[in-house]
Amino acid sequence: MGYTPEDITAGVALKALVESLPPPGVLQDLQATIDYAAQAVTGQVGVVGYCWGGLLTWRAACLLSNIAAAVPYYGGGMTVASEIARSPKCPVLAHFASQDQSIPLEGVEALKQAHPDIALYIYDASHGFNCDHRAAYNAPAAALAHERTLAFFERTLRA
């Protein structure tokens, strides 16, 4: 899928279908992937996700095992009360955007208040600022978030 209005509509519909699965939904697939990675590498496992993947990254950090660090980028949905109520089991670095029309800053601030241990950054950018296939791409914000993500993983993931 791309980023045309039709693709975005189709993607939102697919996300809604997956989110409607009974628990654990896709989390069992994520856990299987994490477990495989933990056996296949000599170091620890970190997870990163963007948009809905950011929400899944947050849920993985809170609910799954064998994760040493998590980095959600503009995790759509992770700033609602039910997600804020979760507690991560590993260090988390979260990236959000001040001009994100789909993630209100009030929710980002509520997440930050509830979890002061999370490294949380807000960029002067829009949703999807890290994706160079979107009009919202913001090269300076993407570069800074990437630098912070790599430094975070360097600190939290040990071989």
pTM of the model: 0.94
Confidence band (pLDDT; 50, 70, 90) for 74?
Answer: very high
Could you tell me which residues are beta bridge partners of residue 73? 50, 95
- 24 and 59 in contact (C-beta within 8 Å)? no
Question: 36: which 2 tokens?
Answer: 């495989």
Q: Could you identify the residue written with the tokens 């040493």?
A: 68
- 94 and 71 in contact (C-beta within 8 Å)? yes
131 is catalytic: no
100 is catalytic: yes
- The predicted-structure confidence for 34-60, as pLDDT tens digits, reads as follows 999 999 988 899 999 999 999 999 999
Domains in the chain, start-ordered, CATH in brackets?
A: 5-156 (3.40.50.1820)
Q: Which of 62, 90, 95, 127 is catalytic?
A: 127
